[in-house]
Amino acid sequence: MLVMKFGGSSVADRTQLEKVFEIVKGLVDKKPVVISSAHKGMTDKLISAAKSAVKGDFSMPDVIDYQSEISASLGCPPDLLSNLFTEISDLLRGISLVKELSPRSLDYIASFGERMAVRSIADFFTRKGLKCQAFDVWDLGFITDSKFGDARPLPGFEKQVQKAFQEKVPADVIPIVTGFIGQNENGEITTVGRNGSDLTATLLGSALGAEEVEIWTDTDGVMSADPSVVPDAKNIPSMTFDEAAELAYFGSRVLHPSTLEPAMNAEIPVRVLNTNHPSHPGTVIGRQSMDGLNRVTSIAYKEGQTVFTLTTTRMLRRAGFLAQVFEVLGRYAVVVDMISTSEISVSFTTQSREALEKALPELKQYGECDMEHGKTMLVVVGNKLAKRRGQGSEILGALAQAGARVEMISFGMGSINFSMVVDDSAVDKAVPVLHKELFS
């Protein structure tokens, strides 16, 4: 069995879906399970409609017209999605009346993108000769907790998924399944987080014991840098789970940060492929890199960081001081990305600016506090990076050449990432020079 996830750009319109059809058709013998995102831009339109409705600005939403145009271009029956269109209108009307948009309602409205897409795609593919059936993922055993916006399947969901697939998916049918969404035990719709269809794919792949999970997107696999910043970025043929997880967390635009854990635990390889260039082998991610070399894999960056520094002589030789500081951060849900300490100071980066500002009065009890905004965490990721002699000097030398000022560094023992903090404005200059130094 093969699990294939197609992102929003891959299912954007009929032109793209013709490509997807040919890809799936060519792998019928692998018994594919297709996970689909919403059509490109649809989730944003749905959320925008909900935010307008909560302000009392409700009319028949543009999302219905947008979806109707796509479905009509696919030749779908006009009434295929009529029930969902009515449900969308009723929900938005209700939001406009109560003028409240709760996390639960936000997940509910966001779910329609995938639900409409799979029904249109399954109908289109079936008429073109591939017998397909649309499924909402919760009908296949994907029942989650109630953490709206960031839900996860309940423990033991794997057996429920296996049972549901055996009972509900005919042997001669290709299931087209909703990504991104789920349902809790009360029947309330949840989502696993934006861009979470990747996670749906690896969770189902793990539950079903798939031979591989394929993530189909619009790039030739994982690249050595962001192609929008480095036009000559190179494809990475293979990489480890650890490297890919680092890149996903630190800003890689290809994978969702939580995607890899289920596949890693089940030791199922994940392959990233290009819908527009299906003959390209893409990038395979597994327990070990295929080349096994100690080399730099990629450059990633995470913009919009706040750097917080706490300075005090009370830290000096005092056991438990940092534990007290981080207890405050934990209570205010401040997520720390990168940290550096000295005898009398601790600095860290976070994107949780609002939460940090709420924690600031308590943090000031421990010492002098300083915050700087508009920073980027720039990260070089590589297998056994610390074992390469002179690697640090190459990285810092490249940034000096680019005129970027490095304000903070983190490089742990045996680390696979070399992290630095620079100004947001330095990214466009620093990344191309760094890429040239490390990959040319």
What element of type H or E holds 421? strand 417-423
Domain shared by 194 and 66, yes or no: yes
Q: According to the annotation, is 43 in a ligand binding site?
A: yes
pLDDT at 62: 85
42-56, 99-113, 362-376, 400-414: least confidently modelled range: 400-414
Q: According to the annotation, is 217 in a ligand binding site?
A: yes
Domain shared by 319 and 212, yes or no: no
Flag whether 280 is in a domain.
no
Domain shared by 45 and 160, yes or no: yes
- Residue 104 belongs to a domain with what CATH number? 3.40.1160.10
Stretch 308-329: mean pLDDT, rounded?
90
Domain shared by 205 and 301, yes or no: no
Domain shared by 41 and 181, yes or no: yes
DSSP 11-23: TSSHHHHHHHHHH
Contact in structure between 8 and 17 (CB atoms under 8 Å): no
Place 257 in a pLDDT band, splitting at 50, 70 and 90. Answer: low
Q: According to the annotation, is 5 in a ligand binding site?
A: yes
Place 252 in a pLDDT band, splitting at 50, 70 and 90. Answer: low
Domain shared by 212 and 350, yes or no: no
Contact in structure between 82 and 116 (CB atoms under 8 Å): no
Question: In sequence order, which ranges of 312-352 are alpha helices (DSSP H)?
Answer: 321-331
- Residue where a domain stops, chosen among 161, 193, 217: 217
Flag whether 187 is in a domain.
yes
Domain shared by 301 and 207, yes or no: no
Stretch 284-294: mean pLDDT, rounded?
70
Q: Which of 87, 95, 143, 156 is nearest to 116 (CA)?
A: 87
The model's pTM is 0.86
What is the DSSP pairing of strand 32-36 with strand 174-178? parallel
- Residue 432 belongs to a domain with what CATH number? 3.30.2130.10
Q: What is the mean pLDDT of the chain?
A: 92
Flag whether 339 is in a domain.
yes
Q: According to the annotation, is 6 in a ligand binding site?
A: yes
Domain shared by 323 and 184, yes or no: no
Q: According to the annotation, is 313 in a ligand binding site?
A: no
Flag whether 228 is in a domain.
no
Flag whether 259 is in a domain.
no
Q: According to the annotation, is 114 in a ligand binding site?
A: yes
Domain of 208, in residue numbers: 2-217
Q: Which tokens sit at 63?
A: 């999302």
Q: Is the pLDDT of residue 314 over 90?
A: no
Place 200 in a pLDDT band, splitting at 50, 70 and 90. Answer: very high
Could you tell me which residues are beta bridge partners of residue 284? 238, 271
Total count of domains within the chain: 2
pLDDT at 294: 56
Question: pLDDT by residue (tens digit) across 222-250?
Answer: 889 888 889 988 999 998 888 888 887 77
Domain shared by 304 and 416, yes or no: yes
Q: Is the pLDDT of residue 420 over 70?
A: yes
* Main-chain dihedrals φ then ψ at residue 188, nearest 5 degrees: -85, 140
Domain shared by 213 and 301, yes or no: no
Question: pLDDT by residue (tens digit) across 36-58?
Answer: 999 999 999 999 999 999 988 77
Q: According to the annotation, is 8 in a ligand binding site?
A: yes
Domain shared by 39 and 138, yes or no: yes
Flag whether 272 is in a domain.
no
Flag whether 173 is in a domain.
yes
- Residue where a domain stops, chosen among 193, 217, 241: 217
Flag whether 26 is in a domain.
yes
Instruction: Calculate the dihedral angle through the C-alpha atoms of 10, 14, 17, 18, rounding to the nearest 10 degrees.
Output: -130
- Residue where a domain stops, chosen among 184, 217, 250: 217
Domain shared by 196 and 313, yes or no: no
Question: Which are the contacts of 317, defined by CB distance < 8 A and separation ≥ 6?
Answer: 343
